[in-house]
Amino acid sequence: MNDDLTAPTAAHHPPAPADGAGGPGDLAARQAALVAALVAGADPPPGFDTRRLAAAREALLRKRAGDVARHWPLLAAGVGDAWPATFAEWAATRPTRGGLRDGWDLARALRAGNGLPRLAAGELAVREATSRYDGERPPRPRRLPAVVRIDDAVAVQIAGRVRLRDARR
């Protein structure tokens, strides 16, 4: 057997960083710090260009806003041209939970601050009537009938069918 084929080469072992940190735990910690800076609003890790990090962070927030808009089209349409800025302000310190849950959390936050657009009230009412979502675990379908009122929108769910009405009638 040829030992040259099994011997490690320099290509298999990259050089250790100059600061002496080179263990797998150190790399994982640095990667976690970078991810936290990009998606959760943490301070930038040392050694990174803050301008480039800010640009990457803004791009990720725009991508998240687009994903949420696909799951919550009436919320995004109701906010209008302010959608990217509204979402970015809300999401800046929150790690993503997925487009559906991020949109649900944002809609609830806007409602709590009396900023939920009328168009989005119906969308939120339908979601609340068809699924249970506690803000922590993924939404689960409701099994029992439900009546939910969000501002002027009333959603009634019976046997999986949903009717949405204007409460002002």
Helix intervals (H) in the chain? 24-39, 50-71, 73-79, 83-91, 99-112, 118-130
Q: If you average pLDDT over every residue of the chain, what do you get?
A: 86
Check: CB of residue 155 under 8 Å from CB of residue 128: yes
* pTM to 2 decimal places: 0.76
Please report whether residue 149 resides in a domain: yes
The residue-averaged pLDDT of 26-37 equals 87
The more confident residue out of 98 and 16 is 98
Please report whether residue 92 resides in a domain: yes
The residue-averaged pLDDT of 39-54 equals 86
**What tens digit of pLDDT does each residue of 77-95 get?**
999 999 999 999 999 888 8
Please report whether residue 29 resides in a domain: no
Number of domains in the chain: 1
Residue 39 to residue 56: CA distance in whole angstroms: 10
Bridge partners (DSSP) of residue 155 are 148, 164
User: Domain range for residue 109?
Assistant: 48-166
Please report whether residue 130 resides in a domain: yes
